[in-house]
Structure 1
Amino acid sequence: GIPICTIAAFLGLLVTYRTINVISLAGVAFAIGMTLDNSIVVLENIHRHLDEGRSRLDAALAGVTEVWPAVLASTLTTMFVFLPVVFVQQEAGQLYSDIAVAISASIFVSMLIATLVVPAACGRLLVRSDGKQAAHGAALGRRYIGLAGRMLSGTPQRLGVIALTVGLAALIITTLVPDAEYLPEGEEKKIFARLIPPPGYNIGEMDKLIRNLQEEFIPYVDADADAYDRGEIPIPPIIAVTAYASPDFAMLIMETHEQRHIDDLLQITSEKVSGFPGLISFATRGSIFSSNFGGSRSINIDISAPDLQTLFETGLKIFIRSREVLEDPQIRPEPASLTMGQPMLEVYPDWERAAELGFDTADLGYLIWAFSDGAFVDEYYKGDEKIDMFLFSTQSRNADPTNLENLLVYSPNGGVVPLGAITNVRETVNTETIRRIDGVRTITLSVIPPRDVPLERGLEIVRGEILDKMRAAGEIDPSVTLRISGAGDQLDATRSALLGNFVLAVFISYLLLVAIFSHWGYPLIILTTVPIGISGGIVGLAILNAIGANLDIIGLAPIQQPFDMITMLGFLILIGTVVNNPILIVDKTLRNVRDNGMSNFDAVVDAARTRLRPIMMSSVTTVVGLSPLVFNPGAGTELYRGLGAIVLFGLLFSTLVTLTFLPALLMQVLETLDRFGWRMATPATGDSRPAA
């Protein structure tokens, strides 16, 4: 079934007009480990009936008839939990949809294979086991049944298991959930460094600065990586180093040979660019999801004020405070300069004198443009090429700008007069550019926290320890408006959308289970395993990071998996997968009570015994299928490694919970209902549906 389900995943991507990319391929890879679950459940149940003495045809019919409702329930819950993803409009939602389509298409086809192809093949090909092959499995089953019997034998034992499991899950969720990131940066091997000068620098000075910096890195192009590892050279080998200069900023772009050297190169570059006094400097890693200047980790502080002087003073204060509190963050201001230090000439017309000489408003403005940056005349087309034509004064091309008032102009009434005769020219300082958001003058500070500070924590620091404290201390004028945007704002919006859709996914799963089990109560027992499985995923992420931080001991590059929005998708997947095994236990228990008249104890123990093998087999295949995505390093793995860890460890933990916590809870609920005479109604004997 794996090849067919894999093809189905690609067909699903094709039908929904998706592209094949790292994220969608990760969805296909995730689906491979999950597609065997349905076939395992059906095949194992048919095999059990065959070992009980039935013919191959009877065993195939009885086996698939008995478990098809559970297979349908598990398939639909896995598929329908992705429905809320459609309503996530943020960037993360667009990434989720690729994974959702791939998994849903393959899981749906796996259900068809399990209920149609597997029984047909078993009816022709399956043979009865000789008993020797199952010896080890039977021994394990006996040990488990002995443990389950002791665990279910009394109310104190059952309540102890329930309390221990719930308490442990609650402790994990409240203490181990890490601070969140927005999107993974992607392991691009590129470093982008910028130098922003104060007003007064020209392109010659900026070019000289960036070329000198480039010369420091050029000797290490195609250097020996082993030499750097041995400490023989101070800079890791790089593929190329490119420099660019303009009057406003200078930029240096480098790419390493080895991915494991990227953090070292970033630190070295940051130290070098910070050595230029008076310049704003920062260096960031490249990102495949957003801009190459910390887009996926950038907290944008939009500062708006009606007065330019107040605006720039506030921006400079927040810039300085951010550097102090966040301990060397990367900060990019926009506009680049936070001072009103740009020399400017302001021309004030003397309208009375200008009118006497025949100048009107349009003439005077056009004249001043021609004396400065040039006055636009018209457009000239040369074939398909459009050329803008500007008018410049020959007097002003090489003249001192401060001598503007002495330039001669011809008046419409005849005669020549200096520009100062009809205007007042004043020297001043101002900002080079004025940026507006919603029509209001605005400065934006893009604050990128240090790499050891998660985006969520950085956002808390910016809001609480910088902006709020500065407001409370009166350092920010009441007329100034502050707003958080960028990745920080997107993190809040996406997380809120995910939380709402997570609740909606749980509700959809509950309604599906109610429809299949024909009762409102039993699905609640099944869904109690969801938060416990989630706690297992959180533990898995913590284990992955703990091991990854110490990989250098064995000569591998350390890894750190952030708790980003793609990783959080694992919790959504767990809703649909964690309930699969509990469905088998609950369904079999209710059939035992309804069809065979068993006591509560015997029904639960028999359900655990008969479903032990398919639960273990499906869990093992899923874990084995997910393991390469989590533990095998490679290009692009950082995008879905966290997602895989959440699902893998969540399923491992939920398997343990299904075999311990769930039987105890189910037994306790059934006993309590019997004690008060509230036994939930079940369908009449012979009904092919699960008990309700």
Structure 2
Amino acid sequence: MVQNNLILGVVLSTLILFLFVRKLPVIAMIFISLPISILATFLAMQVLGRTFNVISLAGIALSTGMILDAAIVVVETAVRYREQGERVVDAIHKTMAEVSGALVNSVVSSIIVFAPILLMQSAEGKLFHDLAITISSALGASLFVALLLLPLLLRYILPSIKALDTTGDFVDRISARLARMVVSSRNRSVMLLLLVVVPIAGLILLAPKLNILPQVEGTRVNVSVNVNQSMNHEALTSELLMPINQLIEAEQEQQQGPLIDKFLSFVSGSSSVQLVLYPKEPEQAEQLKSWAKNTLDAAFPHANVYANFNSLLGFGLSTNRRVTIDFTGTSLDDLQLIGREVYEHLNTNMGYANPWSNTPLYNDDPQIIFTPKDNQLLELGESQYNLSQKLRALTDGVYIGEYSNGTKNLPIYIKGEDWDAINNVMDTPLYFPLENKVTLLRTLVDYELDVGPSSLYRLNGFRTLSINVTPPPSIPLSTFIDDSQSSSDPYY
């Protein structure tokens, strides 16, 4: 596709030149700069270890018109002097004296624009390195051809130029009319207003919205099926993942909806299942996206289903359009209440895709709250910290150090046996060497069964609840951020 565009650009440039110049020798002189400049670009790519790819070929295609600019200026100026009766050598000398400085300034300033891109070390900057190298090399080569090669060739082409107007009467009439428009001071003021003030106002009012990179969508469909409660891996697999797989396989066997070439499904986190669908026919990607969302919405009404396409520029780049809204405070219950209201607002009123929170919005994870008995601990000379380490060893396990086997360090954990009931833990005997006593855990702590969030997040030392939202491709990132801030302001 890029190669075709490059060829099309050359053909269109030829047609435009023929429309205005209409002299084959002059057109041939101008087009000499094109293969030489592209050849110099290839040489620069070889020296810098670059390859042909979509970006480098796009840079060559974009530079096609710019390569011809310097040649057009030199050749047209020399032809004009020749038609005015100047000798060939004099026409060439006057041409180079007139345009050399302007050409150097123009080309060098265009090349300098790409210098910051070459200095960028981020993934986004490296993406456009090839573009900067190809365009800069092509422009530099075109300047070399215009200043050194074309004057030599003009020595042999100008004698064949007759005293004819190469631009035609139409161009002369347009030039004369434009000149008359700025004769009077009133016309000059009007032209100043139209050409300076109006563009500046338009620049401010019509500035495009901000995005990180263009949204180049692929044909792979990513589907997220989220539930509003935390579940363990086995429960998500049996209650959500397996039914989804069976539904898709059944629909495909009955040829309901677009055909799927292959699909991948897996449990993600504690409340979602992710699907990756590849359409049999790329042209049916949009239909597959709609079918997946509608089918899963109908089959799992208790879940939130989101479907979107993968980004072709997403691998290794900061194309992630996710926006995070943080709420900090001291009360987790208040944060969860605010989070549920914001989540519902974003999910229903604004129509944005796939909101999720790093902290569960509901307390649905079983927890055991241990409360130490300070008097008993004091009698045994035990601190609350040491007791908490023992409790961690009896439940989740506690890290105590590392062991080196000669090649790498291995972590060491102490963990008690698995237990089925809390009484098994409470009846565990603990030894306290300072008093040389053994006592049961239940004599040192009280416990309470409760539910709470499966995870906690802190930002700058404060409890924090974050709502992460990804805007749809049709909404610019800056617009989305402004809307999110205005909708979230009442909660701050």
Q: Which TM bucket (shorter chain)?
A: 0.7 to 0.9
2:273 is aligned, of 250, 275, 293, to 250
Q: Which runs of 5+ in 1 are unaligned?
A: 224-231, 471-475, 481-692
Matching of residues 181-330 of structure 1 within 5 Å: 181-208=211-238, 209-218=240-249, 235-245=257-267, 248=270, 249-274=272-297, 276-290=300-314, 296-330=320-354
Give me the TM-score of the superposition, normalised by structure 1: 0.57
Q: Separation in 2 of the partners of 1:25 and 1:403? A: 70
Kindly indicate whether the alpha-carbon contact (under 8 Å) linking 1:286 and 1:292 is maintained by their aligned counterparts in 2. Answer: no
Aligned to 2:236, what secondary structure does the other structure show? helix
Amino acid at match of 1:115: L
Matching of residues 255-654 of structure 1 within 5 Å: 255-274=278-297, 276-290=300-314, 296-335=320-359, 337-354=360-377, 356=379, 364-380=387-403, 384=407, 387-394=410-417, 397-401=418-422, 403-410=424-431, 412=433, 417-464=439-486, 466-468=487-489, 470=490, 476=491
Kindly indicate whether the alpha-carbon contact (under 8 Å) linking 1:348 and 1:423 is maintained by their aligned counterparts in 2. Answer: yes
Q: Separation in 2 of the partners of 1:325 and 1:257? A: 35
Deviation at 1:204, TM superposition (A): 2.1
1:140 is aligned, of 152, 170, 185, to 170
Deviation at 1:38, TM superposition (A): 0.3
Give me the TM-score of the superposition, normalised by structure 2: 0.77
Deviation at 1:334, TM superposition (A): 1.4
Aligned to 2:307, what secondary structure does the other structure show? strand
Structure-2 change in CA distance of 1:427 and 1:409 (3 Å): same
Q: Separation in 2 of the partners of 1:179 and 1:129? A: 51
Q: Which runs of 5+ in 2 are unaligned?
A: 1-32
Residue aligning to 1:110? 142
Residue aligning to 2:62? 30
Q: Separation in 1 of the partners of 2:65 and 2:184? A: 38
1:62 is aligned, of 90, 94, 101, to 94
Kindly indicate whether the alpha-carbon contact (under 8 Å) linking 2:215 and 2:473 is maintained by their aligned counterparts in 1. Answer: no
Deviation at 1:349, TM superposition (A): 2.7
Amino acid at match of 2:243: N
Kindly indicate whether the alpha-carbon contact (under 8 Å) linking 1:24 and 1:99 is maintained by their aligned counterparts in 2. Answer: yes
Aligned to 2:153, what secondary structure does the other structure show? helix
Kindly indicate whether the alpha-carbon contact (under 8 Å) linking 1:220 and 1:235 is maintained by their aligned counterparts in 2. Answer: yes
Amino acid at match of 1:43: V
* 370-379 vs 39-48, which moves further: 370-379
Identity of aligned residues (%): 23
Aligned to 1:182, what secondary structure does the other structure show? coil
Kindly indicate whether the alpha-carbon contact (under 8 Å) linking 2:370 and 2:445 is maintained by their aligned counterparts in 1. Answer: yes
Structure-2 change in CA distance of 1:321 and 1:156 (3 Å): same
Kindly indicate whether the alpha-carbon contact (under 8 Å) linking 2:63 and 2:139 is maintained by their aligned counterparts in 1. Answer: yes
Aligned to 1:116, what secondary structure does the other structure show? helix
Deviation at 1:348, TM superposition (A): 2.6
Deviation at 1:314, TM superposition (A): 1.9
For 1:394-451, what per-residue CA distance to the aligned partner results, in whole angstroms no more than 9, with x for missing partners? 3xx1422475323444554667643211222222222211222333322221222344
Amino acid at match of 1:441: R
Provide the aligned C-alpha RMSD in A. 4.0
Deviation at 1:257, TM superposition (A): 4.7
* 239-248 vs 37-46, which moves further: 239-248
Kindly indicate whether the alpha-carbon contact (under 8 Å) linking 1:214 and 1:241 is maintained by their aligned counterparts in 2. Answer: no
Residue aligning to 1:520? none
Kindly indicate whether the alpha-carbon contact (under 8 Å) linking 2:216 and 2:311 is maintained by their aligned counterparts in 1. Answer: yes
For 1:538-577, what per-residue CA distance to the aligned partner results, in whole angstroms no more than 9, with x for missing partners? xxxxxxxxxxxxxxxxxxxxxxxxxxxxxxxxxxxxxxxx
* 153-162 vs 443-452, which moves further: 153-162
Aligned to 2:210, what secondary structure does the other structure show? coil
For 1:226-279, what per-residue CA distance to the aligned partner results, in whole angstroms no more than 9, with x for missing partners? xxxxxx965334332101125613211223355544444333334445553554
Residue aligning to 2:21? none
Deviation at 1:207, TM superposition (A): 1.2
For 1:646-669, what per-residue CA distance to the aligned partner results, in whole angstroms no more than 9, with x for missing partners? xxxxxxxxxxxxxxxxxxxxxxxx
* 62-71 vs 87-96, which moves further: 87-96
Structure-2 change in CA distance of 1:3 and 1:461 (3 Å): same
Amino acid at match of 2:279: T
Kindly indicate whether the alpha-carbon contact (under 8 Å) linking 2:182 and 2:191 is maintained by their aligned counterparts in 1. Answer: no
Q: Separation in 2 of the partners of 1:427 and 1:254? A: 42
Residue aligning to 2:22? none
Deviation at 1:17, TM superposition (A): 8.4
**Total equivalences in the alignment:** 456
Amino acid at match of 1:74: S
